[in-house]
Amino acid sequence: MGVKKEIGLAVIGCGTIGRIRAMIARDYPGVGWIGLCDVNKSLGEKLKADCEADYFTTDFLELLNRPEVNAVIIATDENNHAAPTMAAAERGFALFIEKPLATDAHESQAILDAIEKAGVDAVLGYTQRFRRRFLTVKEKLITGQIGDVHSVVTRAFMNRMVPIATVSRTQNRRNLTPMVVSGTHSLDMSLWLMEGKVPDTVYARSTDKVLSRWGTKDSTFGIFTMQDGTIFSMNICWALPEVWPGSVYGLEIGIVGTEGVIDIEDTHRDLVLASNVAQGGGYVPDGYHPPARHVDFLTSYPPGDLHMGQLWGPMREETVSWYQRVCMDMPTPHATAQDGHRNLILTMAMDLSARRKTEIKLPASIDELMAEN
């Protein structure tokens, strides 16, 4: 199948994830033009040179007004998705938005409204959907191999370097909770695997004995009841010590159906490195100096792993798949903008339940979610 449309790509946000996707774009034959934007000029100019981009600016509107642009990647910090996303939607561009859609529920609804009004194709960056093991599980569920799912248990463990890096970039921290920022990945995965089941209520609790000094919670544990009676527990702790060997995410999911069970162990403990040489990995913000890590669970960095100067793994497959989606109208497993908005509302409902210490009826009102935040 030949290329139906050449991509004129705008990448807004030239940090870690924007860099990865731009470098992959450089090597994709369907991308004919690359433009970059970041408020950090030196960061953007460095990426421009490395990916041989055609254009760089510190003004996202200037980039979006370029005649070459027809597809946009939004890779800014979590709090700064709204303005560039809505501007790109209004111009009719295909969109790839890093999760979450927004960290403010009103902004998320406004973004979704703009996307639906413009009728543009918009997807969210839930990279784990592109890992072979989860695609295999999805196929087994679609074909009914374990019958009707009635019970799901999901648990995520994360090194605290991630939340420290996340909250260190902004003073607007009220919505940067374990669920909204990172639990959203395992929530999305679980709901994708339970596709068709609709959450009815949620009850959750949180604790903040470690990360309160950085303005966030340590852990949130919750249980959803679905409209068909299915129960789903969703737990995340992102306060593990800096020396924890998992670079980012360690996930376990158990799915029980009327005819069988699927038990997913995705903690990466099957590939362990121990060395006198200190290991890198994870997200380490400027000015933050965590203790040295001498043990690492290899392959636990969600985007993938470097070899020969290239990233290999799910983020490469996710990015290339999106380029194929734009160029050749190929169907892909990407999360939709609607999925992203739903995920934000559910993660915020968990936070609201934890604050109130009571069950929340779903779908929760956006005004209610924001009023107590």
Q: Return the SS3 of 231.
A: strand
Residues 6+ apart with CB under 8 A from 180: 100, 103, 344, 347, 348, 351
Contact 86, 97 (CB under 8 A): no
What is the predicted pLDDT for the residue at 288? 72
pLDDT for 129 equals 97
Residue 281 is predicted with a pLDDT of 61
**Which pLDDT belongs to residue 373?**
61
Per-residue tokens: 8: 């004129």
My answer on whether 145 and 285 are in the same domain is yes
| 115 and 213 co-located in one domain | no
Task: Tell whether 311 is covered by a domain.
Answer: no
CA angle 210, 190, 179 (to 5 degrees): 25
Contacts 24+ apart (CB under 8 A), 81-86: 81/107, 81/111, 82/107, 82/110, 82/111, 84/12, 84/37, 84/60, 85/111, 85/114, 85/115, 86/110, 86/111, 86/114
β 305-307/310-312 pair status: antiparallel
> What is the structure's pLDDT at 79?
85
Say if CB 231 and CB 224 are below 8 A apart.
yes
Do 97 and 23 have their domain in common? yes
Number of domains in the chain: 2
Q: Which candidate, 254, 248, 261, places its Cα nearest to that of 181?
A: 248
Given this model, what pLDDT does residue 176 score? 84
Task: Give the side-chain half-sphere CA count within 13 A for 22.
Answer: 31
Identify the CA nearest to 102 among candidates 79, 70, 134.
79
Q: How far is CA 336 from the centre of its chain?
A: 12
DSSP lists the bridge partners of residue 221 as 205, 235
Query: In Å, how far from its chain's centre is CA 265?
Result: 20
In a domain, 327, yes or no: yes
CA distances from 202 to 41, 207, 317 (A): 44, 17, 33
Q: Is the peptide bond before 178 cis (omega within 30 degrees of 0)?
A: no
Which string of DSSP letters, residue by residue, matches 329-371?
-----PEEHHHHHHHHHHHHHHHHHHHHTS-EESSPPHHHHHH
Q: What are phi and psi of 299, to 5 degrees?
A: 75, 15
Instruction: Quote the distance between the C-alpha of residue 219 and its chain's center.
Output: 18
The answer to whether the beta carbons of residues 154 and 234 sit under 8 Å apart is: yes
Domain termination residue (choose one: 279, 302, 325): 302
**The dihedral sign for the CA sequence 275, 278, 284, 289:** positive
Query: Which pLDDT does position 266 carry in this prediction?
Result: 95
Give the dihedral sign, CA 274/276/277/283.
Answer: positive
pTM of this prediction exceeds 0.85: yes
Q: How far apart, in whole angstroms, are the C-alpha atoms of residue 188 and residue 302?
A: 15
CB atoms inside a 10 Å sphere around CB 148: 11
Q: Do 217 and 191 share a structural domain? A: yes
Inside any domain, residue 286: yes
pLDDT (0 to 100) of residue 86? 96
Look up residue 267 and give its DSSP letter.
S
- How far apart CA 305 and CA 286 sit, in angstroms, is 22
174 and 118 co-located in one domain: no
The number of beta carbons lying within 10 Å of the beta carbon of residue 212 is 12
**Is 365 within a domain?**
no
Q: 35: domain CATH number?
A: 3.40.50.720
Please identify every stretch of the chain with a pLDDT value under 70, giving residue numbers as ranges.
Answer: 1-3, 170-173, 281-287, 372-373
Asked whether residue 65 is domain-assigned, the answer is yes
Check which CATH number belongs to the domain holding 281 and give it: 3.30.360.10
293-312: b or e for each residue (b if 16 or more CB lie within 10 Å)? beebbbebbbbbeeeeeebe
Residue 149 domain boundaries: 132-302
Q: Where are the alpha helices (DSSP H) in the chain?
A: 16-26, 41-51, 60-64, 82-90, 105-118, 132-142, 161-168, 178, 184-193, 314-328, 337-356, 366-371
For residue 359, being part of any structural domain is answered with no
Kindly state whether residues 12 and 87 are assigned to the same domain. yes
